[in-house]
Amino acid sequence: MGKSRKTDRMYPNAITENGRNILPNGVGITCKKELPRMEKKARLGFIGLGTMGCDLLREACRNPEAEIAALCDINPQALEKAAGLCAGSPAQYSDHRALIAQENLDGIVVAVPQHFHAAISIEALGAGMPVFCEKPMGLSVAECRAMIEAARKAEKAIMIGQVLRYIGVYRHVLETVQSGALGAPFGVRIIRTMGRWGGWGRPWRLKRETSGGLLMEINAHEIDFMRCILGEAVSVSAMGKRFCNEENDYEDLIFAHIAFAGGGMGSLATAACDHLGRYTGEVFCEKGTVYYDSVAKTIHIQREGAAQEIIAYDDVHPEWENGVYREMREFVETCLGRHPATISGEDGLRNVEIAEACYRSIREGRPVLLPME
């Protein structure tokens, strides 16, 4: 590896030829031909190089329009591993403040533990650099609003990593529903359980103040998915308790019910205390139903008056690009000035707001109206 720079202080939706850009409220954007390519590359910096940070980095490295200019992590081993993914010799930092101050970048990818999302994103935006921030956007509505305000003041984009809507199975469900072939959607039911949890070996995931609990750490994806289908939420009612996991300090079983502005309803069951682990979902529409199941690994589409269509997960549009690659490609295009952030700060805020409202409903034993004050 070439010469690198280090410091020793610790830190405390796009268009393709055959694709669609999936947005909330059932909006889809289709383009018949690719946008023209520009000779300039987007110089990117990556802050946080754990599992997700390296996944994002790996896909960015595949993009011919991205140049990986700088890497930052407080863990020297993680930094070394990440540098090995890069074709060039990006500058290396153990202090995100030094990276932000010293590098002239077109964009910064923030994939640190979520209790650092807001502070680091705001610093990067304040330095005049667009930001891609992993989900959840922040750990409170207040944090998300501060991030949006920082982006507004800087006149720079902030994009949130709600990648589920781009992953093949879930993208296929969304596009099937949004095509109108099944009529208007009015209900979504999702069950996501993870067996006995353990925080995937990361102690910070076991604390509410650093992870946000299940609804933010895990289910920001499912909340976003429901919004993509049913629009904006107007109220939530939830109940939850910690039953099994003494190592974490938050609920390990939650049932949440969400009412949407158009009259639709959403139901989410999430658990880290079961003995199976599964991921199923169902979308109810006027003229049909879509069901998906992680155990059977199949999507079932029942149209009114037609035979049921069953699609194996492995057969879902193998030609589609990887979801993480797509979100990195879209961020690069945003950094190059081709379009606004495709998953906006407002999207991130609304997802966090629903989760925060569910926690309030659990604490207070009552429904909570949205938007929250």
pLDDT in tens, 89-126: 999 999 999 999 999 999 999 999 999 999 999 999 99
The segment(s) of the chain belonging to CATH 3.30.360.10 are: 165-321+352-369
Residue 14 has pLDDT above 70, yes or no: no
The segment(s) of the chain belonging to CATH 3.40.50.720 are: 20-163+325-344
CATH architecture of 165-321+352-369: 2-Layer Sandwich (3.30)
Q: Cα separation of 197 and 200, whole Å?
A: 7
Residue 19 has pLDDT above 60, yes or no: no
Q: Cα separation of 75 and 48, whole Å?
A: 9
Mean pLDDT confidence for 63-73 = 98
- In 3-state terms the chain splits into helix, strand, coil percentages (rounded to 5) of 35, 25, 40
Residue 197 has pLDDT above 70, yes or no: no
- At the topology level, CATH places domain 20-163+325-344 in Rossmann fold (3.40.50)
Q: Which helix (H) or strand (E) holds 175?
A: helix 168-178
CB 66 within 8 A of CB 328: yes
Comparing CA positions, the residue from 65, 43, 22, 321 lying closest to residue 175 is: 22
Poorest-pLDDT segment among 32-46, 216-230, 308-322, 335-349: 32-46
Give the pTM.
0.89
Q: Cβ neighbours of residue 316 under 8 Å, at least 6 residues apart?
A: 168, 169, 172, 299
Structure tokens of 257? 């019910």
Residue 336 has pLDDT above 60, yes or no: yes
Got the DSSP string for 18-75? S-EEE-STT-EEE-SSPPPP-SPPEEEEEE--SHHHHHHHHHHHT-TTEEEEEEE-S-
Structure tokens of 194? 């993870």
Supply the pLDDT for residue 373: 75
Residue 147 has pLDDT above 90, yes or no: yes
Residue 239 has pLDDT above 90, yes or no: yes
CB 235 within 8 A of CB 246: no
Higher pLDDT, 34 or 241: 241
